[in-house]
Amino acid sequence: MSQTQPINPFAEMQAGRPTGPLVQGYEVIIGFETHTQLTTQSKIFSRASTAFGAEPNTQASAVDFALPGALPVMNKGAVQRAIEFGLAVNAHIAEHSVFARKNYFYPDLPKGYQISQFEIPVVQGGSVEFFLDGEKRAVRLVRAHLEEDAGKSLHEDFIGMSGIDLNRAGTPLLEIVTEPDMRSSAEAVAYAKELHKIVTWIGICDGNMQEGSFRCDANVSVRKPGEPLGTRREIKNLNSFKFMQQAIDFEVRWQIEQIEDGHTIQQATVLFDPDTGETRSMRTKEDAADYRYFPDPDLPPLVIGRDWVEKTRAEMSELPRVMAARFVADYGLPEYDAGQLTQSKATAAYFEAVAAASKQAKLASNWVMGELSRRLNSEEKPIEASTVSAIQLAALIGRISDGTISNNAARQVFDALWTGESQDVDAIIEAKGLKQMSDTGELEKIIDDVLAANAKNVEEVRAGNAKAMNALVGQAMKATKGKANPAQVNELLKKKLG
Ligand code: ADP
Ligand code: MG
């Protein structure tokens, strides 16, 4: 007698996922929906401009105002960008996808429906890979679909009225939806950062989170390990990585508290308030059925020939994860370094220029990720605005590796380059007297003096006390005003002490 197993649609998903860190005995489940604004000059179904910040309603055409009889015409550039995204995440590009009407009422949506894709999206499947605490993770994508943005309601409190601005109406969006694969707020932020990196790298989105070009909705639920998925609440429009983490952490604590108090979670859409650090319910969640989706009769199915996909594939530049793998293979860098250096195209290009000119890849990586990043961060500058050029940094690295200067002295040289004191590494070393003592004769004399003046330490070293050795090295470095190479001092001391 055979027994029918109950069908669990999430069985496959649950099987492969690691259990995340438990919070008060609960497992956290997160899925993301991200709206990326595409970088086309004009809107998805009209020729109006997409530029940000214009006077209200100056960038809306008859289509965006929903004037009767105005028909949408697909913008090829938006489709091109969707194809590029699909290729970047190893997804399937549908040969045939369909635009649908998502019906709802809101003042900033004069048509009464949003044109989106429902049953057959243009990008299907794929995954986003990244490192979390040194461990490789992959978040699977369900889909990415093309849709139009809505307008904006502007609430003018001081006159007690609201206005509608349709400049944003019809702006092309690619909505990227994940499986509920993330298991902590840290993993969610790491995913969002990686996705942000991919879309800006391939240039389909400018990534400006303040202006709303990259908006994340986080679906969050909790469950006891092994239980079926819990009811989720969706935190809308997270527009900074910091808020993302705070909002999810708050939401998780709130849900656990509710459950522990004997309440059940209601599916809802919530907003995060950065001032209070709390999420609060905006509305109970609609189901897809409420939107009465149906294929838009104004738009034919979107047909993408294989030749278009293959041409796009051939023309795309090296992707960040491919480049990172190359950095590991060609330069022998650790995977962590390679990931950091491929945060942006500009960073990667800068690193490669330093590595090529200095022939010291690891040192180049250390300096780009270390001193240079620190300086750029503290002055909130992008690497393109670095006052130290790749060639100068390579020259500096050359002087470290040939033993001319110590690491400490190198930081002083970097400082002088950064502030523009001088453009020339050797001139700075000369002017500041930073050269390490390379004359062994001179150094030996100094060391002899140190040994003579520190008889007690010498005794202790001979008796096997390592600390006393350090004290001697310190004395010698002091006597040379820090200009000796500590390794060389150590070596000479050992030789002299037998
Ligand atoms: P809708 O389109 O109605 O928002 P979907 O089923 O497409 O619903 O899911 C939207 C997002 O919510 C997806 O990213 C999905 O991974 C995520 N999600 C679904 N169920 C859960 C759950 N129980 N907990 C957390 N996230 C979930
Ligand atoms: Mg949703």
pLDDT digits (tens, 9 = 90+) for 310-344: 999 999 999 998 999 999 999 999 988 999 999 89
99 pLDDT band, cuts 50/70/90, is very high
Q: How far apart are CA 491 and CA 483, in angstroms?
A: 15
pLDDT at 285 over 80: no
Q: Which of 347-361, 406-420, 464-478 has the lowest mean pLDDT?
A: 464-478
Q: How far apart are CA 125 and CA 158, in angstroms?
A: 48
Whether residue 376 contacts residue 382, with contact meaning beta carbons closer than 8 Å, is answered with: yes
Q: Which ligand is nearest to the CA of 237?
A: 2
Q: What count of other Cβ atoms lies within 10 Å of the Cβ of residue 461?
A: 22
18 pLDDT band, cuts 50/70/90, is low
The overall average pLDDT reported for the chain is: 92
Angle at which helices 185-201 and 241-260 pack, to 10 degrees?
Answer: 150
288 pLDDT band, cuts 50/70/90, is confident
pLDDT tens for residues 232-259? 999 999 999 999 999 999 999 999 999 9
For the whole model, what pTM was predicted? 0.82
Q: How far apart are CA 308 and CA 314, in angstroms?
A: 10
pLDDT at 391 over 70: yes
Whether residue 245 contacts residue 185, with contact meaning beta carbons closer than 8 Å, is answered with: yes
How much is the average pLDDT of 3-13? 42
Question: In percent, how much of the chain has pLDDT > 90?
Answer: 76
Distance (angstroms) between ligand 1 centre and the Cα of 236 equals 13
What's the CATH fold of domain 440-497? Answer: Arc Repressor Mutant, subunit A (1.10.10)
Per-residue tokens: 496: 């002299």
Question: In percent, how much of the chain has pLDDT > 70?
Answer: 96
Distance (angstroms) between ligand 2 centre and the Cα of 268 equals 10
What angle (nearest 5°) sits at the alpha carbon of residue 115, between those of residues 164 and 152?
Answer: 15
Q: How far apart are CA 490 and CA 223, in angstroms?
A: 58
Q: Of 43, 38, 77, 72, which Cα lies nearest the Cα of 60? A: 43
- Per-residue pLDDT at 489: 87
- Per-residue pLDDT at 58: 96
Helix (H, G, I), strand (E, B) or coil at 437: strand
Q: Which residues pair with 114 in a beta bridge?
A: 102
Cα separation values, 312 from 67, 87, 317, Å: 35, 9, 10
Which of 231, 232, 256, 265 should be mutated for ligand 1, with most atoms under 8 A from CB? 232
- Per-residue pLDDT at 496: 86
Cα separation values, 180 from 140, 221, 379, Å: 8, 9, 38
- Per-residue pLDDT at 481: 79
pLDDT at 490 over 90: no
Residue 33 φ then ψ, to 5°: -120, 120
Q: How far apart are CA 318 and CA 82, in angstroms?
A: 17
Per-residue tokens: 79: 């489709």
17 pLDDT band, cuts 50/70/90, is low
pLDDT tens for residues 405-448? 988 899 999 999 999 999 999 999 999 988 887 677 888 888 89
Q: How far apart are CA 366 and CA 353, in angstroms?
A: 14
pLDDT tens for residues 140-198? 999 999 999 999 999 888 888 899 999 999 999 999 999 999 999 999 999 999 999 99
How much is the average pLDDT of 89-118? 96
How much is the average pLDDT of 8-19? 51
Whether residue 216 contacts residue 199, with contact meaning beta carbons closer than 8 Å, is answered with: no
Distance (angstroms) between ligand 2 centre and the Cα of 87 equals 24
Whether residue 304 contacts residue 94, with contact meaning beta carbons closer than 8 Å, is answered with: yes
DSSP string, 282-344: EEEPPPGGGG--EE-TTSPPEE--HHHHHHHHHHPPPPHHHHHHHHHHHH---HHHHHHHTSS
Distance (angstroms) between ligand 2 centre and the Cα of 33 equals 7
Annotated domain spans of the chain: 27-308, 318-432, 440-497
What angle (nearest 5°) sits at the alpha carbon of residue 229, between those of residues 227 and 231?
Answer: 125
Q: How far apart are CA 244 and CA 228, in angstroms?
A: 25
Whether residue 175 contacts residue 227, with contact meaning beta carbons closer than 8 Å, is answered with: no
Q: How far apart are CA 166 and CA 164, in angstroms?
A: 6
How much is the average pLDDT of 389-412? 94
pLDDT at 69 over 70: yes
How much is the average pLDDT of 129-140? 90
What is the number of the ligand 1 atom nearest to the C-alpha of 288?
A: 3
Distance (angstroms) between ligand 1 centre and the Cα of 332 equals 40
- Per-residue pLDDT at 11: 44
Whether residue 75 contacts residue 172, with contact meaning beta carbons closer than 8 Å, is answered with: yes
- Per-residue pLDDT at 4: 37
Q: Characterise 277 by phi-psi region: left (phi > 0), alpha (psi -120 to 50), beta (else).
A: left
Please, which residues have CB less than 5 A from ligand 2, an ion? Answer: 33
Give the residue, 102 or 52, on which the prediction is more confident: 102
In 3-74 the beta strands, taken as DSSP E runs, fall at 27-37
209 pLDDT band, cuts 50/70/90, is very high
What is the number of the ligand 1 atom nearest to the C-alpha of 220?
A: 25
Helix (H, G, I), strand (E, B) or coil at 123: strand
pLDDT at 403 over 50: yes
- Per-residue pLDDT at 406: 86
pLDDT at 31 over 60: yes
Number of helical H runs and strand E runs in the chain: 18, 17
Q: Which amino acid is at 402?
A: D
Q: Pocket around ligand 1: residues whose beta carbon is below 6 Å from it? A: 29-33, 177-180, 219-221, 229-230, 232, 288
Residue 454's Cα: distance from chain center in Å?
Answer: 54
Helix (H, G, I), strand (E, B) or coil at 7: coil
pLDDT at 217 over 50: yes
